Structure 1
Amino acid sequence: MTGIVNTAQAEAWNGYEGEHWASHADRYDAVNSGFNDYVLDQVGRDDRVLDIGCGNGQLTRLAAARARSATGVDLSGPMLATARTRAAEVPNVTFEQGDAQEHPFADGGFDLAISRFGVMFFADPVAAFANVRRALSPGGRLAFLCLTALSGTDLGTVFGAMAEYLPQPTGPDGSGPTSFADPDRTTAVLTGAGFEDVVCTRVEAGQVWGRDVPDAAGFIAGWGPVRHHLGMVDAATAAKATEALTAALEPFAGPDAVRLRGAAWLVTGRRS
């Protein structure tokens, strides 16, 4: 793997966090794949696509089916192993392990950079997107999905139920998974990195979190940030947090699955 500046994230994604995502690839795709078409609609037949934070590679494979080629980059060795296995029969897909903030992409080697919730953890987002911009051809485009603020969303309701017992796993806006929840900040970061025509469009999609409430609660409790905070409190407090999580999921249970309505920003821009 090439040079890494985001060492904390590299440790997480090559440890428990990455292993959890790799071993539950289908489950994470069930949570996030409803958003795929918002990004895939940006892909053209002649595009050379770069998928940033590609994870287990579902979006990369789907982009390749619409484009000239697709390359996924990610910090996580465990997820890239899954991505390569699942793309073994896809001839125009490649995967690279590296930190997109410093990865030595070929100058102008791509026409479109995409991401599905893979850009929120950069140590220096302006530097990271400047590096992505360098990898794009003149006039190259950017299209990524990121979380909105959680307040008022189904996921915010679920996480909020645990707030009495645990810190919120998402972190405040400006850091962590909600780092691009503020469109003004997102626009400032991207223009600072050399992008123009930046547009943030709120989009929604259904998300399947489990086959029933206990299954969904166990899955969420095993997600890295929640698991981390559960491990920081005593057993009684952790049990109360888990009970609150389970109760919060009850209203979202249907006959075949626990479904939440997810909210995201679709962010688009163009290399200036």
Structure 2
Amino acid sequence: MFDYDAEVRLYREHFRGAWGVQPDDRVLDVGCGGGQTTRDAAEGAARVLGVDISEPMLEHARSQPLPNVSYLLADAATHDFEPESFDLAISRFGVMFFDDLVGAFGNIRRALRPEGRLVVLVWQSRTENEWAQVIPEAIGGSFRDDSPFALGDPAVTRDILTEAGYADPTFTAVRELLYYGPDSEAAYDNVLRLREPQALLADLEPAAADRAHASLRATLDAHDTGSGIQFESSAWIVSTQRA
């Protein structure tokens, strides 16, 4: 399993610092994955519910239980949450993939109390993220999946959130390095677990695939910082509240 917590570890404190969790808060963690953000929120909140569509990820999350944390296998875009039952909804790189962004954010809004808050961490555009350009370019072929960057344009995201019933959001830019592994061999294995590289490689003839693998290894070698294989990245912390 790809260690996503390790990959985005330098964003952790930026994101935690944006929540403003209060001791009486009930928190909803959307796309909680292995539960790191859920557990982080639980340090200051009364109760936290982590929601994800991946049972293996939730099994990992449940392996580190906390008394004020529970997990739910569900799609937060459509799940029938108890209305007005959360003070804060958070998500670390988990809300860009909804098929219907307005509908999904509207569903989360209904789960928030009046003036309840939403704080999400999303990628800026592909052009602001080195990892999202040089890895596919090393493999060759055109980009396949821009869904990770669906909320990268503040104007677009503002329109989505206001249509879904939120107040005018604020955007805080954050730039950090992404960590792909301690060395190029580990990073190579990690990259090959990702969806876009898999799709690009699947289309290549054997000889072209061999060249792509060699090019990918060279790219990873070139990004060895001495503290692991790292790529530049840019994200937004988007904060708003139920209108």
* Category of TM-score, reference length = shorter chain: over 0.9
Q: State which of 34, 46, 51 in structure 2 corresponds to 1:56.
A: 34
Supply the distance in 2 between the matched residues of 1:28 and 1:134 (Cα, whole angstroms): 29
1:33 maps to which residue? 9
Q: What is the rounded CA distance, in whole Å, between the counterparts of 1:157 and 1:137 in structure 2?
A: 40
Alpha-carbon distance in 2 for matches of 1:152, 1:114: 23
SS at match of 2:192: helix
In the TM superposition, 1:71-150 aligns within 5 A as: 71-86=49-64, 88=65, 90-150=66-126
Q: Does 1:69 align with 2:69?
A: no
Provide the TM-score with structure 2 as the length reference.
Answer: 0.93
* Partner residue, 2:196: 225
**Aligned partner (choices 20, 23, 35) of residue 45 of structure 1:** 23
Offset at residue 152 of structure 1 (A): 4.3
The runs of at least 4 aligned residues of structure 1 exceeding 6 Å deviation read none
- Measure the CA separation in 2 of the matches of 1:66 and 1:179: 30
Which residue of the partner structure matches residue 135 of structure 2? 159
Shift of 1:224: 2.4
- The sequence identity of aligned pairs, in percent, is 37
Contact 1:161 1:244 in 2 (8 A): no
Deviation at 1:157, TM superposition (A): 4.2
Q: How many residues are paired up?
A: 241
The 1-side partners of 2:144 and 2:173 are apart by 22
Distance 1:169 1:34, change over 3 A: farther
Gaps of 5+ in 1: 1-22
Q: Structure 1 residue 261: deviation in Å?
A: 2.8
The farther-off stretch of 244-253 and 180-189 is 244-253
Q: Is the 8 A contact 1:158 1:249 kept in 2?
A: no
Tell me whether 1:201 sits opposite 2:172 in the alignment. Answer: yes
Tell me the distance in 2 between the aligned counterparts of 1:44 and 1:251.
Answer: 44
Deviations for 1:39-74, whole angstroms, at most 9, x for unmatched residues?
Answer: 322122222110111111111111111211111111
Moved more, 150-159 or 184-193: 150-159
Residue 215 of structure 2 corresponds to which residue in structure 1?
244
1:156–1:224 CA distance, 2 compared to 1 (3 A): closer
The answer (yes or no) to whether the contact 1:169–1:226 under 8 Å persists in 2 is no
Paired residue secondary structure (1:161): helix
Q: State the Cα distance separating 1:178 from its structure 2 match.
A: 0.9
